[in-house]
Amino acid sequence: MRGFVRDNALSLFFLLAFAAALVGQSFAGTADYNARQLTEGGLPVTWADYVTSSDFAVDVAENWQSEYLQFLMFIMVTVWLVQRGSPESKPPGEEGGQSDREQRIGPFARPDSPAWAKAGGVRRSLYSNSLGWVMGLVFAASWFAQSVAGTAAYNNQRLSQLQDPVGWSGYVLSADFWNRTLQNWQSEFLAVLSMIVLAVYLRQRGSPESKPVGAGHAATGVES
Amino acid sequence: MSRLLLLLVALVITACSSQRDGEVAQAADGFYAALASGDGARACALLSPRAEEGLEKGGDTCPEVVLDLDLRGGAPLGGPRVYGDEAQVRLAADTVFLHRFADGWRVRAAGCEPRPGLPYRCEIEG
């Protein structure tokens, strides 16, 4: 048991942090929603009502989609673009999907390589891009969920302001949808940019996301 | 097994949605039925507190004012449009907005005319 916890401590830490933050968001969101209900002469809702509402769903989904987009882009763009000196980048000159030998696939697979890396054809192709596909699918599903929940939340607001509700297609073209979407995207892109650039010059001793403290600023793709 | 679960969830959602739509339509129907029968007190009892207060100006009472407005509803145009605790019922001669309170749905705006790009202008609003 102790061995399992130690071997998976990083995943377990973020799983617990995610759960705690989501529960915290649900309680803070309920309080915020009920405060608005009171000022508008509406009815307070229970925690259970709030966590099954479109308001909660859209707030969760809009953050999920942007986080998955951030990592999807980080994974895909770093295949082709480099940043000299960044531990998040491959060294200049190594842009692209690399050779089968470098990727240890097909005839170059090792005994401990995953089965689909040893296989050929569609399976190898699929597995070679599986991380990007899964991140991309979760991003697309989250963005779609944001659009559906957002339509309901937006229409609730429109009706409260004596305006006609809009359909899904009307909502995805609305300023509300793109404001929610882009305000999340800009912060994610800024965070990635900061990580790539700051890690060229700054260090965090012991972190695999940083170069060793004594590594030169020009050293690229070197992690602790 | 998972298909059965999905079917059950879909049935529950459909049933809840139908029941909710029925309650909204019933509230709008009740409001216009009270007006048609000249029962201002009953019509006012189906208004939201703010809408009712909005009609009580200059010593006039809600039951008197609501009948003087001479509002007409007419046949429903499609089903109610319900999002959370807000709803809209479109009738042949009016558009009605309702809000869900602890004791059920109540009319918060009636006698409404659309304005392109702007909220409806309503004779009763609250």
Q: Which of B85, B112, B121, B125 to mutate to test the interface with A (most CBs of A within 10 A)?
A: B85
pLDDT in the model for residue B5 = 59
Q: Where are the domains of chain B?
A: 2-125
Q: Kind and range of the H or E element at B104?
A: strand B104-115
Q: Of the ranges A184-188, B3-7, B71-75, B98-102, which is most confident? A: A184-188
Q: What tokens appear for B72 in the block?
A: 């007409």
What is the rounded CA–CA span in Å between residue A14 and residue B93? 57
Closest-CA residue to B35 (of B60, B58, B68, B57): B68
Looking at the complex, report in whole angstroms how far the Cα of residue B34 sits from the nearest Cα belonging to chain A: 23
Which CATH number fits the domain B2-125, given the four candidates 2.40.50, 1.10.3470, 3.10.450, 3.40.50? 3.10.450
Residue A54 half-sphere exposure, CB side, CA atoms within 13 Å? 17
Q: Do residues A124 and A116 lie in contact, with contact meaning Cβ atoms separated by under 8 Å?
A: yes
Residue keyed to tokens 């959370």: B84
Residue of A nearest to B96 (CA): A162
pLDDT at B110 over 60: yes
**What percent of chain B lies above the pLDDT cut of 70?**
87
B62: number of Cβ within 10 Å: 21
Average pLDDT over residues B48-71: 90
A107 secondary structure, DSSP code: G
- Reduced to 3 DSSP states, what percent helix, strand and coil does chain A have, rounded to the nearest 5? 65, 0, 35
pLDDT, tens digit, for every residue of A129-169?
Answer: 999 999 999 999 999 999 999 999 999 999 999 999 999 99
SS3 B61: coil
Query: Which tens digit of pLDDT belongs to each residue from A17-37?
Result: 999 999 999 999 999 999 988
- Whole-angstrom Cα distance, residue B124 to residue B110? 5
> Is the CB of A156 inside 8 Å of chain B's CB atoms?
yes
- pLDDT of residue B15 exceeding 70, the answer is no
pLDDT at B10: 59
| Nearest alpha carbon to residue A153 among B68, B85, B26 | B85
B34: exposed, middle or buried (C-beta count within 10 Å: 0-12, 13-18, 19+)? Answer: buried
- Relative to beta strand B118-125, strand B81-83 is unpaired
Nearest to A85 by CA among A207, A216, A189, A214: A216
Q: What is the pLDDT of residue A206?
A: 93
Q: What is the pLDDT of residue B20?
A: 84
Query: For residue B6, what pLDDT band results from cuts at 50, 70 and 90?
Result: low
Verify whether the Cβ–Cβ distance A159 to B83 is below 8 Å.
Answer: yes
Judge: A164–B97 Cβ closer than 8 Å, yes or no: no
What pLDDT, on the 0 to 100 scale, is given for residue B74? 87
Nearest CB to A160: which of B81, B86, B112? B86
Q: Of A19, A141, A133, which Cα lies nearest the Cα of A71?
A: A133
Contacts of A156 in chain B (CB under 8 A): 83-86
pLDDT at position B7, please? 61
The answer to whether ipTM exceeds 0.90 is no
Q: Which of B24, B82, B83 to mutate to test the interface with A (most CBs of A within 10 A)?
A: B83
Two tokens, residue A80: 């082709």
